[in-house]
Structure 1
Amino acid sequence: MDRLGRSLQHLVGFLEEIHHLGVDLYLHQQGIDTTTPAGRAMFQMLGVFSEFERAMIRDRVNAGLARAKATGKALGRPKTGEETEAAIQQSLAEGMGILKAAKKHGVGTSVVQRIKAGLPLAE
């Protein structure tokens, strides 16, 4: 049910759209039949609860991130060392491809792509 829409507005719009196409929705596990007024009401109530739950999760995640920042914890991926970056730049300057450079230096291809994008263009 909570996978059908991101918000109550989206769920109601989805329900109107499928009804306009002449399709009725029956959710077997929840026992909800949108052809009846009670079924439509229950569908919308479940949408409200799904939206509420999603908002609560978002608030808890943001509170946890704020608490981590307040205690001085470093967030995100670890930074690539300067020596590794210099070695990757050297490999790229020698004509090595992104995949080979990533494998050689033990980093992901996105790291090599980021470093390559920061290099001056050869003329």
Structure 2
Amino acid sequence: MNQILIIEDEAGVSAFIAKGLQRQGYTTTIAEDGQQALLLVQNSEFDLILLDLGLPLVDGWTVLKELRRQGQILPIIIVTARKDDHERANAFKNGADDYITKPFRFSELLERIQIHLSRD
């Protein structure tokens, strides 16, 4: 069973994603800020991360860069309201595997997750 870490500070969004993924057979963990997320990744095994950029305490950019600096190779999908092409390009430059903007269709998010998990 695949373990997915949802790093999202909006409780409604994280609950929506978690419920949908659990219905598909995934195990989910939610981190509400970047600091908590970094601790969880150090102490647990995840197969994929869904990462919001606008997080409290430690922002998503810092989380992304720190995980890659630590040598984490698991897929990281950015899930953000930021639609700017520069932001998207910067995410890929800093190690993101995918980028999806809010609002999104759950079916699209699920497809992207399945694609990245099948590459293992």
TM-score (norm 2): 0.21
Which has more radius of gyration?
1
Task: Pick 1 or 2: higher relative contact order, CA cutoff 8 A, min separation 6.
Answer: 2
Q: Judging by fraction of residues, say which structure has more helix.
A: 1
Name the structure where strand makes up a greater proportion of residues. Answer: 2
Q: What is the TM-score of this pair, normalised by structure 1? A: 0.21
